[in-house]
Structure 1
């Protein structure tokens, strides 16, 4: 029996017993190869790929647990553990060799091809499960850089937003980045990248609304002001973020 999964999910995603079924695209084979690699190297923070069903849909392991939300309610200790989790992910993906002619679905142009990244490491994709943190929704995976991914994850997981005091946002940012173990020399670059990465998300939603492309037009109507204002906040206080990280 199929159970539709609700929330900010791709249309057509359903749960069947202990599996998730997703519509496929040109990127699905590459995503499956990535998830198989993560499983093979012992990284437990991603669902296992289980092939295709009789309707041609991607089959993934269903991971029960609790999802977070965009408000950034994690404790400082949890943020530190999420940073360490992301570092483990990057160590695992760094050894991944994509299949020949791999196709990826990347709605925001990557800033490099240092390694394959998830590109949406955010509370709504992070499951608090019995086996620890598990990251879901890998359809947007593809080439990128550690700092580009860390900038987005830090802002979203720490809940760095306009209605949170600057000092609190800075402290939460530091907790996650310390957990990741980012080298001191790279921290000023990360501080400067926070606003740029949030601005890229804001621009994606704005273009989606202009061109009536879903789900971006819908998300722009719901959260466009949040991303616009968050980008402005992060851009305006680079020195504050740098000081906190150093």
Structure 2
């Protein structure tokens, strides 16, 4: 049908129609901020600079639920005098040989980067004094230390089999070639001091950080004993200024068996 020019219908303004429909729906079915309980916080999606993925929206979540601290194969497994590996004769897969030592692959890859960084800083050439130890090997080491120093003193230096981080393949005892790869004098070296401050960037922590923490970890200061936990966890520990896994995860202290 043709209309005279003055009676021709105007094109529909769909923008007005949609806006009106949305406004009507909001009145009939209030949702969003209007429906939120009093005091609710609306997230804008912004995250403070420097916040890790784990910290995002997880401030009230127990840390043990963010990381697997129980499985022997986990990068974050916590093994100490109160927490044996499960199974106790656990054998890690995918070990890599570095010199005379064997190391779990993730730790080996991180160690290569750490070693390169130490060399770049002209602090010496890192070497691994000890890496993976089997249940049987740890049994021999433990027995030797106890025979040499007595049970109490010996067990502050050597773990019982099944209770050693070395059995996971994630722990390494490091030194420098300039020290003949001996761990004894490592703590006074420039490399040791730099590693204590920077190992977290490569996913390592100094697992037994000071004699003041012996009542928590069960071991005396071992500046050479590095434990790979992954960059994320190491960064979280660094940012919170927490130096032991037991304290970070709120686990019982393990001064003795």
The normalised TM-score by structure 2 is 0.27
Larger Rg: 2
